[in-house]
Every structure is written in structure tokens, then in C-alpha cells.
A and B are shown apart, each in its own frame.
Chain A
Amino acid sequence: MEQVAESAIDDIVRGAVHFGSGGGGEPHLGRQLLTAAVRQYGPVPLVQAGSLAPDALVLPVVSAGAPYALLEKAHGVHEAEALRAAVEARAGRECAAVLPVQLGSANVAVPLAVAARLGLPCLDADLMRRTLPSIDMTLLRLSGHPVPPITLVGCTGALVEFSSGDGAVLGELLRAVMPGLGLVALASAYEVTAGACARLGVDGSISDCARIGAALGAVSPGSEAGYAPFLRACGGRMLCTATVAELVQHSTDGWPRGVVSLNTPEGFARIDFQNENLIVSRSGTVLATVPDLISLADAETGSLLQTTDLALGQEVHVIAGPVDDRWHTPEGLDMVGPRAFGYAVDPVRFDGTGDLTAAGPR
């Protein structure tokens, strides 16, 4: 895939929902945002990290904040330019391309739109290979790369910079400043070059979204068999078909958390979520956990759903899919395994197998 033209937007955004694992934002907004940018500035060129000069500076971009707030106050041109200016001023050189930090319907669309506005190409890559709730949960950091400097540009023009600090601490600080910035900010982190990206081996993210999105479009809802094209494309499997029996939500600690109770023919199933779906279990047996992807598809339309949008009585398919293998290493699981989210359960992969690495002595 060489560029993102208007015709490709539907597939890319639809496919990105799969990497949202039940979170990542409502796809309609991302689609509108990106379509507007492409119409105004033309198609966004996609480049592979290896095709740029190894020491070329790239601009990692992520939309920080609540997706519903983004719906009210989308990022403007000025924020993209302010972010670029801040990053370039600190590095003392120009950015060669935009780098998406994570995959998700909003966070694929926003970096592409930013690239369009800035007239930069976008790397066909990302740093998480899925949506995760914190900017420090990246494969880049897993490989030892420091998170700071972090730059935030709020919708009011305020600019915040954390030039150093531990990744986890910075994650907390970021969330702390978000309300002051208006809950919406364009963010960048990691001083990273095209060469570092190439070494990390995270190419093909946007293309994957497009491919999976096209497969999702080919799904014929009505039967589980109709999902074969999608399951083939994402390598996942359908765990069960269920009716939504209850949705308990609470956000006492600032994170949208909750439990979905699903009525399945084999008994009640449960999805524990914090932004994203983290664990699916049935009758006290864990079926799949983070870091693998857990999605819910509307049985009527075949489209993937945001967990917080579920309605009682809605019929859904529960689909689990694999994620980058590096997340399944002990270090990866320490960062984004179920225990990292406060669940005292061992990780289970989308296909029901355990993580051997996790079962050993820790």
C-alpha cells in the first residue's frame, strides 16, 4: 500500500477497530476526520521505515484523551503544526514522516490526518500493534527505548512537555494534565528515527488495517460461518455467540472499567474491560486475556463494537485474535499482561493456550 486515498479510508478505519479490542474510539469520527483531511490535502503517502534515511527523525503522533471528547473538539491544524514545531525545535532538525503510536480507529485516523496537514508521508507502522491505554505501553519501550520526551498540545493551544522520567510515572502525569488541556490533546513521545523503526520491525500496520477492514466488509452476518473472511484475515477465532445480559460500568479511578455479562448457550460469559476488553471468561474459566485482542461483533450487522456502546439484549459474537508475539514474552506480559491491569489470572492466548513463558517461575 503506497498511499491512503479517500477510497481506502473505510477499510482502514474499519480494520483499525479490530486492534481497538473493544475500545479505541468510535470509527465514525476517525472516518470523518481522515476523509476531511484527505479531501483537503490529498492522499497521504505511506512509506516503509526502511525506505527513509536511517537517521531521519520521525514524528510519533497519538491522540491522547477521551474519544468522546474528541468527538466534540477535533484536533485542528494549529495543534499539528505546534506539535511538529515543538518536536523539531527540541531535536534541532526536521521530521521526515509521521509515525502512528497505536492502532485503533481514532489513532489510525489522527496520525494520517496530521500527516496530510503537515504535508508529510506517514510510516506504514505503529508502536503498539493494537490499542493500549497508556503511551508508555509500546514495543519500542519494551525494546529498551526511553519514553520521554513527551509533548502534548491541548485544544486551547497549551503545550506541555515532559522531557525525562520513568515511563509509568509519565503515563500517570499525562492523565493528570489531560483535564486541564480540555481532555483532548495531540501527543508525541519517543525521540525516534526511521532506522530505529526499521530495526523494531513494526512495518505494515496501516496495510494490515486496510486488509482486515476489507475482510470485515466481506463478512456476511447471520451465521458464524459468515465471519470466515475476517477470521482468516486477522488469524483469530470466534469464541461464542451471546446475548448481552448486563453491562456494569464504573470509572471511580478515572478509567472506564466494567464487566459485561453475556448469556451464551454454554452458560454465562464475562468480559472484564478497562478501556479495552481485557479478559473473556466463561463459568469461571478464562478463555482469553490481554495482550491478545478480544472483540465483539454485532450479530446483526457484522460490524465490530465499542464495549461501552453495548445494549442489553444485543446479540454479539465474541472474537479473539492474536497480537504481536513480543507482547507474550515475560517482559511483554509484565507490561501489558492481565496482572499489569490488576487481574490475578495467568495470560491465556486467543486460541486458549497458555503462555509457557508466563507459567514458569517469575
Chain B
Amino acid sequence: MASPSVNLGQLLDLGLLKRYEVLGGEAGLRRPVRVVVVGSTIHEISELAAGSVVVFGREQLTLDDLAMDIAIRLAGSAGLSGIIAARTPRQVPLVTRRLADRFALPLIGVDDIAPAGVVAAFDPYVRAPEIAGLRVLGDAARRFQRPPANANALTSSLSATLGEPVALIDAESRFVAGDPEVHALLGTCPTAEELGGPHPVAVTVRAGEADVLLQPVQVDPAGLAVYWIAVRLPGSAAGVLLEPIRRAVAIAALSFAVHVAGDAVRVEREHRRRSLLLNEILEQPDDPGRRTVERATALGWRLAGWHTAVQVQVSHAPSAVRLSALGAELEEQLAERGVTVTLVERAEGWVFWSTAEAEADAADPGPLTKRVNTALAAVEAEHPGLRLCAGVGGAHAGTAGIGRSADQARQAVLLARTTRRPAAVEHIDAVSARRLLAGWYGSAPLRGAAADLLAPLQDADPSGELVRTLRCYLDCQSSAKAAGDLLGVHRNTVMQRMDRVTQLLPADLDDPDDRLAVHLAARAVDVQWEDPA
């Protein structure tokens, strides 16, 4: 009967023996174990059934005793699967360890041993290996009955259940929580595409010397994995002992998904509350109701004083980035830079404002602009491909000042979008001429006309190379050399492209009006506009 069986290696991995040492015969750790018995004398070893593991107490046999050699020989001939015996402070002779190696008979040294206890601990797993799995599963079910409070709670609980190191990584293979060594072990093994791809399923990957089990955490069962749980599998996790580990990890993943989803709902609800409140404030700036003031105060918002509003927008986001979570990240990054604010989600992004007691304190927007810039850069660095930009309004007094500054911030962010720099931040007051442009960029019909103007270039060259060259050439005051340096091409290339542009454009670049219109159009054309309307 091919009943499932365990081997001594698996039994030891269960952690039932507190401190043990494999002294020899390691090659035999994979032999199936049929029964574990208490040994009394070495001479009865020959009468034991093949596949037995015999446990000797300190009184019966110690490891450095000559009789141990005899026991190993007898056990080797009888086809036993291992000997467990007491260690003494004395060294186990080399000859004994080599003899165990020769018979591939695992020789396990234990500090404190009660043979009957060892037998009782091992016996259930030997008789019915599934029980080992049930223990793990039962433990997992108990621990993950309630969703873990956070990622650290997940990894520590799961690690305690399995007795193996666990790490939580995100869909881009970045370490989130748990044992960093497991993450390091993975290296580049599962690529970001594999982790971020559709239809994620649990996989086992070979990472260096060990197998690592990867289990996706999905908030939406049909969606992408938001996290992956990585577990380094013990050598014994094979056959009947692997399946329970898989299931335990799946339970943990499900439980953690509940936590993530709950978190998302809570954040969403909070944002909604803030957003409604801001609307109320903006709609009735002169006479906010008593209840509104109370709620604003409760959130730590100050309605009096001089307000400087900031609007943050996403210029470009890869599909893997969860936009709903970005607000919280931004808040964290800003707080790290001394800007403690609550972001309010708006249709065009997020708004927040800082408040100063006096106009003089709010007058210089430099430090704030700098902090916002580094905060955006920090968030961008966390998510490759993500582009953020922000606009900073002027300082305005009173409740109505919030709305006024926010309007300016919205204009400023339009400017920021046109610069195409990472983490771009523009202040409305920085250059008054830009306010002119902001008004122009803000007009959809004008932007439509600009697109029409450059349409022939787009048609002729969908890659956008011609438009970029044109924009750069005009930015550089029609210097082919300067534009070439910026674009990283030879000036002759710039000249050739400009010849082509001149032919294609329905405008004359030598005419100052035409040239200005083309320049404006070139600056506005590639930006993804999101009209508040």
C-alpha cells in the first residue's frame, strides 16, 4: 500500500525537538519513517522493523559511547531510518559520525531528552502525516479569523504558523514587510511583469538553494494582485506536507485582502467626507455654517488666517499604480517635510492648503514650493513611470481666501503640466506673464485650435519627433545649434527637420504672429488636459 509517509527530515523540520543536531548520516534524512520507538538496549535494534527511528535516553546510550557505533552498525543493517540520542558535554567522536554517514543513517543529537516524549510527539505525524498539515491549517484558520492589522502582523503571524520566514512584496517586487532575506532570495526571479500581470496564481519558484512559494493577494478576485506573500519553503515541504502550507498561505492571503479592501473603503470614505466639506466651504465662503466650521475644526482645518493652496495632479500614471492610495502617500511625504496637511480629493486631483497667521509669513512661497517638489519626487520614485505636478496659489486671507488660492493653484498646475519636468511645481506669482499663459492654456477651444494648427506635423510623424524639435527650436530662440544640443542631435538634423516642419505647417514661421501661435501650440499640444468642465 503506497500510503503517504514522512521522513525524519520532515519530522525534524516540524520543530518538535527544541535543540537538535544532525551529527551524521544526513543522506538518510529522506528515508521514510514507519514508526518511532523508545530504545532500551542496542541489541534489540536488530529486531526493529525497517524504517524505524529509535530514541535512546541518556541512561540507555550516549552519543560518545562505543556502544553507539555498534548501534549504528546494527541499525544500518536493519534498515532503520535514524537514531536519536542524548548529547553529552563530550565531543562525539569523528568515527561515530562517519559511521552514520557510511550507513546513511541519520544520527540526531538532542540536549535534553525524554525518549517517550519524543516518541509521543512524533508518533501522530508518522502514523498519519496529514495530521501535520491539519495542525498548520488549523493554526492558520485560527490566526487569520480576523484580518491582520497591518502587513507586519500578517508576516509575523504567518511566519509563526509555518515556522518559516515570510515576506510581503508588492506587485512590482518591492519589499513591504516581513523577512528581507526572503525578498533578497527572490532577486529578479519573478519579474515585475509576472507579478503585475493579469490572472495571478500561486507559484513555487526556485530561488538559489530554496523553493519560495508566492501567493497573490487580490482585493478583486478577477483583478490584479496588489501584493504577493513570499514564503521560503522548508526542504521537507514536499508531498503530503506541502499542500497544507499552500492552503494556509492562501487563507492568510484572503484574510489580508480583506484588510486591504477594508483599508481602501475607509480611506475612500474619509476622502469623500473631506471633499464634501471643502465644497461647502468653497460654496459659502462668506458665511460657513456653524456645523461646517465645527467639522472643519475637527479635521484641523483653519479657516481664518492667510491660506496658500496647492493643487496636485497626476500627469501620467502606469496602470499598476493605485491612484486612490497616492493621496495618503503624498500626505506622508509632505508630513515628513514638515507640511502637515490633509489632502482633499477633487475632480482634478488633490487640494491642500497651509495657513499662516500673518500675510508676511505666507508671502514667500519658495520653501513650500520646494517641499512640495521633493515630496512629489519622492512619490514618483516609489512608482516608476508615475508623473505628478503641482501648482501653488497666492496667499489669501479668510475662508474665502481658500477658494481664491485654490483657483490660482489650479491655474498654476496647468503651467506645471506644460513643463514636462518630473515633479514639476509652479507658483502662480512666480512670473506674472505665466498667468497670461495659464489663462490661455486653460481655454479648451484655443487648445483645440492649437491642435489643428499642428495636426499636419502629427500626421506626418506620429512619433512626435517633429513637434518636439519645433518646440525646442522655438524655445531656443530659433537656434539650431542650441536645439541640437538639447535634443542630443546634430544641428544639421535640426535644420533638416525644421525644413520639413516649414513645408508641412500651414503657417509662416517668419511671420511674428504665426510664430507666436505655433510656439504656443507646440507647448500645449502634447499635454493630456483634463478640463474641470
Instruction: List residues of A whose CB falls within 8 A of some B CB.
Output: 245-246, 248, 250, 252, 259, 261-262, 267-270, 272, 279, 281, 283-286, 343-345
Contact = CB atoms under 8 A, between A and B. Distances in A.
A270 B67 contact: no
A262 B98 CA distance: 11
Contacts of B73: 283-285
A248 B90 contact: yes
Nearest to A246: B94
A284 B71 contact: yes
B102 interface: yes
Interface string B243-282: 0000000000000000000000000000000000000000
B94 A283 contact: no
B319 interface: no
Given A259-B64, A268-B98, A268-B99, A246 B93 contact: yes
B19 to A, nearest CB: 21
Contacts of B91: 248, 250
Interface in B51-91: 64, 66-67, 69-74, 76, 90-91
B54 to A, nearest CB: 15
12 contacts: A245-B95, A268-B94, A268-B102, A270-B66, A270-B93, A283-B99, A283-B102, A284-B72, A284-B76, A284-B99, A285-B70, A343-B67
B95 A246 contact: yes
B60 to A, nearest CB: 10
Nearest to A285: B73
Contacts of B95: 245-246, 259, 261-262, 268-270
Given A246-B95, A267-B102, A269-B95, A284 B90 contact: no
A281 B66 CA distance: 8
A75 B52 CA distance: 59
Interface string B89-127: 011011110110010000000000000000000000000
Given A262-B95, A268-B99, A270-B95, A248 B64 contact: yes
Interface residues of B, number: 20
A250 B90 CA distance: 8
- Chain B interface, DSSP helix/strand/loop, else mixed: helix
Contacts of A259: 64, 66, 93, 95
Contacts of B102: 267-268, 283
Contacts of B67: 343-345
Given A248-B64, A284-B69, 4 more contacts: A261-B98, A262-B95, A284-B71, A284-B73
Contacts of A261: 93-95, 98
Nearest to A257: B90
A32 B96 CA distance: 40
B69 A248 contact: no
5 closest A-B pairs by beta carbon, nearest first, are A284-B73, A261-B95, A261-B94, A246-B94, A270-B95
A5 B93 CA distance: 45
Contact of B66 (A245, A262, A267, A272): A272
Nearest to B42: A344
Contacts of B69: 270, 281, 283-284
A345 B93 CA distance: 18
A267 B98 CA distance: 9
Interface centre among B42, B93, B96, B102 (most CB of A within 10 A): B93
Given A267-B102, A270-B69, A284 B74 contact: yes
A259 B90 CA distance: 11
A147 to B, nearest CB: 29
Contacts of A285: 70, 73
Contacts of A268: 94-95, 98-99, 102
Contacts of A262: 95
B88 to A, nearest CB: 10
Contact of A345 (B64, B66, B90, B96): B66
A281 to B, nearest CB: 6
B504 to A, nearest CB: 88
Nearest to B92: A248
Contacts of B93: 246, 248, 259, 261, 270
Nearest to A279: B66
A268 B66 CA distance: 13
Contacts of B96: 270
Chain B CB within 10 A, most for which of A246, A248, A283, A286: A283
Contacts of B90: 248, 250, 252
Most chain B CB inside 10 Å of its own CB: which residue of A245, A250, A281, A344: A344
A327 B64 CA distance: 27
A205 B203 CA distance: 80
B94 A245 contact: yes
B70 A284 contact: yes
B62 to A, nearest CB: 11
A126 B70 CA distance: 36
A279 B69 CA distance: 12
A248 B91 CA distance: 7
Nearest to B102: A267
A241 B392 CA distance: 91
A349 B96 CA distance: 23
A284 B73 CA distance: 5
B64 to A, nearest CB: 7
Interface string B419-438: 00000000000000000000
A261 B64 CA distance: 12
A330 to B, nearest CB: 21
A78 B438 CA distance: 119
Contacts of A252: 90
Contacts of B72: 284
A270 B92 CA distance: 12
A354 to B, nearest CB: 15
Nearest to B68: A284
A261 B96 CA distance: 8
Contacts of B74: 284
A284 B71 CA distance: 7
Contacts of A246: 93-95
Candidate in B42, B93, B95, B99 with the most chain A CB atoms within 10 angstroms: B95
Interface in B477-517: none
A283 B75 CA distance: 12
A285 B71 CA distance: 10
Chain B CB within 10 Å — which of A279, A284, A344 has the most?
A284
A56 B122 CA distance: 71
A248 B67 CA distance: 16
A61 to B, nearest CB: 34
A269 B98 CA distance: 10
Contacts of A248: 64, 90-91, 93
A256 B299 CA distance: 81
Given A259-B64, A268-B99, A284-B99, A345 B70 contact: yes
A156 B72 CA distance: 50
B248 to A, nearest CB: 43
Contacts of B71: 284
